[in-house]
Amino acid sequence: MSTSAPAKQNPKKNPLKSQLRRLLHSIADGPPYCQGTRSLPDIDFSLFYGKEGNTGRLNLSSATEAQLQHLADACQPATFGRAQQNVHDEAYRKAGKLDRTDFLLGFDAERTGLVDIVHEELLIPRSKKKEAISAELYKLNVYGPGSFFKAHVDTPRSEAQFGSLVIVFPTAHEGGALAIREHRDKGKGDKDTKEWTFDTSTLLAECTEPSIAYVAFFSDVEHEVLPVTSGYRVTVTYNLCWTDDQEPLLPAVTTLRTLLDDPTFLPDGAVLMHGLHYEYPLKAHEYAEDGRKALTDLTARLKACDAVVYKVAQELGLPARLGVLYETSSQWDDRPEPVVLCDRVIPFGSKSGMTIRCYGGEIMYTSGVHWITHAPEYTREKESYMAYGNEAAMMTTYWQIYLRLSVGPHGDRGGEPRLKSLGKKKKRSPGVVSVGEGQAHGETVLS
């Protein structure tokens, strides 16, 4: 799908591109993580661990190498998700793990105030209630000398999950830094990659009191544990989830309001499409109403700059809805090949030749749509790291989601646009399109 303007057109005669760029630049876009250190009382470092016949107790702020070796020996090999299975492959991940049923820790993320810190530092102000997010204890991991975990994204365990919180304890170790990478589509197949490195061994060595290091990040962001060169890196991980009792706050809307007041900005109105910056865990629900509800409920769980765009539309009265964009292989006339925006994730394994009505699809043509972000590049290729998660994916996977904004003509911005470019051409064939065996643009396969 291409939205390129005619070559060498005078921008003064067609300012829409620069206006949309101005809108895009006004959307807050911070790093996909927050991090820091926090001193704790001695009791918070107490750890009881193991199974019957092989148990232990230690203090993670003063544990000896022998104690940490015993902890590592009590762990099971850490696995990761590949091809919808939990796989043990030390060429990709070498570490030990304890499930939450096999250890008891004095530390608690809620009680120590870390959840509130994550809420303030990672998320935009969007909720009046501090309990709008929760931290669910997941696993304890031990990375000994030579241990690592190559680039991956975390497997979503529910549609409510938005991030991960990793706590690193002050056990003596070197190496094991966490690298976080964000890949952004620049259009025309180009990508911009940003990388941040979280070196816990250095941070903890600088603390004058027993402390933990923490990092919270959006769970669809690629990250990697670099090799530990000496000692033992001990961590616990929490899944960060939205709860059901949120009260959204409305963000600033100055830029878009100014554009909407400008009579030269989409004078006849138009459909604006915005590819969300982050990906979101969704299930391919068997029943249509469940799939639609999942996308509707997602509006209350949008992350950071994605939430900004949706809240701006809400405050300005612009009809907005989320959808999954599918390629088609059908043409009804001489117009460019269309795409279909569906109001649900189509079940995996669905056959092509589906009716638009069945899946809530809307045919979209280049001539009637303008993109705030870059128009999507349609490709079946996947980044190799995308096939790896920290656990086998079952029903839920990450999806690229799109926001459809309807902008009415000047003077009635909340009304229906006059889409002259679509026109009333010859009548289409029955509403049947091929959606490529249930594969949508931008799906991230965790396998």
Confidence of residue 335 (pLDDT cuts 50, 70, 90): low
If one counts every other C-beta atom within 10 angstroms of the C-beta of residue 342, the result is 23
pLDDT for the residue 174: 94
Closest by CA to 63, choosing from 231, 193, 229, is: 231
Which residue do the tokens 């921008």 mark?
A: 11
Kindly tell me if the per-residue pLDDT of 46 is higher than 90: yes
Task: Determine the Cα–Cα distance for residues 329 and 307; give it in Å rounded to an integer.
Answer: 33
| Sheet with 233-242, edge to edge strand ranges | 33-39, 211-218, 161-168, 233-242, 133-143, 96-99, 76-77
Beta bridge partners of 196: 180
Kindly tell me if the per-residue pLDDT of 211 is higher than 90: yes
Q: Give the predicted TM-score (pTM) of the model.
A: 0.58
Confidence of residue 415 (pLDDT cuts 50, 70, 90): confident
Span 257-267, mean pLDDT?
85
pLDDT for the residue 413: 85
pLDDT for the residue 165: 95
Q: Kindly report, residue by residue over 263-297, the tens digit of the pLDDT.
A: 888 888 888 888 888 888 888 787 888 888 988 88
Q: What is the SS3 assignment for 24? A: helix
| Sheet with 46-51, edge to edge strand ranges | 54-59, 46-51, 103-105
Architecture of the domain defined by 33-242? Sandwich (2.60)
pLDDT for the residue 345: 83
Q: Where are the domains of the chain?
A: 16-29+250-433, 33-242
Selected residue with higher pLDDT from 33 and 98: 98
Q: What is the SS3 assignment for 426? A: coil
Tokens of 128: 């009046």
pLDDT for the residue 435: 38
Kindly tell me if the per-residue pLDDT of 229 is higher than 90: yes
One-letter amino acid for residue 252 of the chain = A
One-letter amino acid for residue 269 of the chain = G
Phi, psi of 49 (to 5 degrees): -150, 165
Least confident of 48-52, 135-139, 428-432: 428-432
If one counts every other C-beta atom within 10 angstroms of the C-beta of residue 330, the result is 17
Are residues 286 and 403 in contact, defined by beta-carbon separation less than 8 angstroms? no
If one counts every other C-beta atom within 10 angstroms of the C-beta of residue 252, the result is 13
Beta bridge partners of 99: 139
| Sheet with 362-364, edge to edge strand ranges | 362-364, 339-342, 320-327, 402-407, 270-275, 369-371
pLDDT for the residue 66: 96
Tokens of 250: 């409305």
Task: Determine the Cα–Cα distance for residues 95 and 76; give it in Å rounded to an integer.
Answer: 9
Kindly tell me if the per-residue pLDDT of 166 is higher than 90: yes
| b/e per residue 177-211 (b: at least 16 CB within 10 A) | bbebbbeebeeeeeeeeeebebbbbebbeeeeebb
pLDDT over 90 for what percent of the chain?
A: 30
Query: How far are the Cα atoms of 196, 361, 418, 432 from residue 422, in angstroms, in the given order?
Result: 45, 17, 9, 19
Least confident of 205-209, 222-226, 339-343, 398-402: 339-343
Q: Kindly report, residue by residue over 105-157, the tens digit of the pLDDT.
A: 999 998 888 988 888 888 755 444 444 788 999 999 999 999 999 988 887 77
Kindly tell me if the per-residue pLDDT of 258 is higher than 60: yes
Confidence of residue 235 (pLDDT cuts 50, 70, 90): very high
Task: Determine the Cα–Cα distance for residues 430 and 412; give it in Å rounded to an integer.
Answer: 33
Tokens of 45: 């470092």
The per-residue pLDDT of the chain, averaged, comes to 76
Confidence of residue 428 (pLDDT cuts 50, 70, 90): very low
Kindly tell me if the per-residue pLDDT of 412 is higher than 60: yes
